[in-house]
A and B are shown apart, each in its own frame.
Chain A
Amino acid sequence: MKDLEKIAFNIRKNIVKMIYKASSGHPGGALSSVDLLTVLYFSEMKVDSENPQDENRDRFVLSKGHASAALYATLAEKKGLITQENLFGFRNINSPLQGHPDMKKVPGVDMSTGSLGQGLSVANGMALAAKLDNKDYRVYCLMGDGEIEEGQIWEAAMTASHYKLDNLCAIIDYNNLQIDGKITEVMNPTPIDEKFKSFGFNVININGNDMDDIQNAFDKARKAKGRPTAIVAKTVKGKGVSFMEGQASWHGKAPNEEEYKAAIEELESKLK
């Protein structure tokens, strides 16, 4: 786990730097999902950085596409998928790193996303293809807790369950905040676990900022047969940078120079 902590630290640091350099981006929901992405890409998923298009690889769909900085920083840690130089061109006109992930521009991105609510359907399609081809790859889909207010998510939840997609693992980044405020106040999607349970999912509640908890959940998900799994991951929006933590205002705002320095300093102090 020590190594994973170091990787998560690098990802968090790079997210803050990317968004600072671009003067735009979404730090809150990127930072909340870092630990999930770290365990996925460095422990759970079969992904070969030498061959990112391998047809037998596990797939990942970032349905909450605005957390793109977290995905890019994670792919940069997976050596070779994104160079450090490219990483800090994030959101610039000449960069392949679009504001929201573009699968045609970045090897390692399995699906273009950005318009919320669409990723779970796509992940279902990938999981169905695996079943048709008798392949054993798994498909992971990360959604925001605000995102599941979109109706298409529940259409897709029906499908995953109807077609018994046990090779699908949905993950909800439950940081409790969306742009306009607390999810329970803007448009209450809770109880999230009960909803997925009633749709036929194997539901696992975890602390989504705890690496052991996350890995245990993926282990359980792999063992569940005949139904899809939903991991409801309680997280802290802005995790790792205290002044961003639990603040809806940091959903889509870049830090200024002073805030950037303070954020990096804090992240570094925690690593020691």
Chain B
Amino acid sequence: MDINQKKATRQSFGEALVELGKINENLVVLDSDLSAATKTSLFAKEFPERFFDMGIAEQDMIGTAAGLSTCGKIPFAATFAAFATGRTYDQVRNSVCYPNLNVKIAGTHSGITVGEDGATHQMLEDIGLMRGLPNMRVLSPSDDMQTKWAIEEAFRIEGPVYIRLCRLATPSIYDEKNFEFGKGMMHGNGTEATIFATGDMVWSALQAKEELAKEGIEIRVVDIHTIKPIDREIIVKCAKETKKLISIEDHSIIGGLGTAISEVLTDEYPAKLMRIGMNDIFGKSGKAQELLEYFELNAEKIIKCVKNVDNL
């Protein structure tokens, strides 16, 4: 972990595409007029003949990606998460997931950390939308190294994958790509609480863990980078081993990580889960850090929940 080594996962995504582009010429990239922001511009610069700017037309972008995939291409279609999944839901459902085509969709600028652009651009429902689609896999990496792994993994998997990425630069957590698809990463083995976190919330959860340890409260953090298929085993294991279960996500508490964990608990080991997230509301404009504080998506909130100050 290195707090000074900050990078946005969208940047890692752009870099990973370039590396993959070098080893496989069937990789093609599509964007909807946001290549500078999604960082597909890095790929466009390196491989202009395999980059397609589709203009401000996300539905067409998804359909075009579907067509390319039927002819052996491996398309990554990228834009802001709000448009990649919300604007295009029917295209993703019918032209990608139903025929189980080899299309990768990258949604950058997910969650409230989009900041100043406000609610229209802060996608808080994308995990729910994508998770509900048959054949779709959902990856939500937490740092640079994990994002690079996630992009390679999405490339390796035959079939649709959604990758949830962020605008805000966050600290580096991992030194190596030691991850397994569908398997959560456990940090520590404290028994007071388990914090299930995903994406840019993993760092906050690790901060909370460190702070609590100073007071002698030992918790564990589980980084859920694969939201679908979710790691059922680790959820049940933690439910059995720890006193309290908490989830945190920069996403609505409806349909996202907390919901996915609740489903596993309901099926296999009924237990109370505190879900920290956006409580069925839209975001608003502001600086990312201010918003995280305003909506209580941070280490302080986790600490309050662990200590029962806030009882969700």
Say yes or no for A110: interface residue by CB 8 A criterion: yes
Known contacts A155-B60, A158-B55; is A125 also within 8 Å of B99 by CB? no
Asked if B63 and A102 make an inter-chain contact with CB atoms under 8 angstroms apart, the answer reads no
Say yes or no for B90: interface residue by CB 8 A criterion: yes
Say yes or no for A115: interface residue by CB 8 A criterion: yes
Asked if B94 and A152 make an inter-chain contact with CB atoms under 8 angstroms apart, the answer reads no
Task: Give Cα A102 to B99, complex, Å.
Answer: 7
Task: Give Cα A103 to B69, complex, Å.
Answer: 13
Asked if B67 and A123 make an inter-chain contact with CB atoms under 8 angstroms apart, the answer reads yes
**Which of A103, A115, A132, A151 has the most chain B CB atoms closer than 10 A to its own CB?**
A132
B23-50: CB near A (< 8 Å → 1, else 0) gives 0000010000000000000000000011
Q: How large is the interface on A (under 10, 10 to 19, 20 to 34, 35 or more residues)?
A: 35 or more
Say yes or no for B284: interface residue by CB 8 A criterion: no
Nearest CB in chain A to that of B68: its residue: A125
Asked if B60 and A159 make an inter-chain contact with CB atoms under 8 angstroms apart, the answer reads yes
Say yes or no for A118: interface residue by CB 8 A criterion: yes
Task: Give Cα A155 to B62, complex, Å.
Answer: 11
Task: Give Cα A16 to B73, complex, Å.
Answer: 38
Number of A-B contacts (CB under 8 A): 112
Say yes or no for B122: interface residue by CB 8 A criterion: no
**Which of B49, B65, B66, B100 has the most chain A CB atoms closer than 10 A to its own CB?**
B66
CB distance from B227 to the nearest CB of A (A): 25
Known contacts A121-B64, A124-B64, A125-B63; is A130 also within 8 Å of B99 by CB? no
Residues of B within 8 A of A (CB): 28, 49-50, 52, 54-55, 57, 59-73, 75, 90-91, 93-95, 98-100
> What are the 3 tightest A-B residue pairs by CB atom distance, in nearest-first order?
A125-B67, A121-B63, A129-B71
Residues of A within 8 A of B (CB): 55, 59, 61, 102-104, 110-115, 118-130, 132-133, 151-152, 155-156, 158-159, 162-163
Contacts A126-B67, A129-B73 known; list 11 others, CB within 8 Å. A55-B72, A59-B70, A111-B67, A113-B94, A115-B95, A118-B90, A121-B91, A127-B67, A155-B60, A156-B63, A158-B57
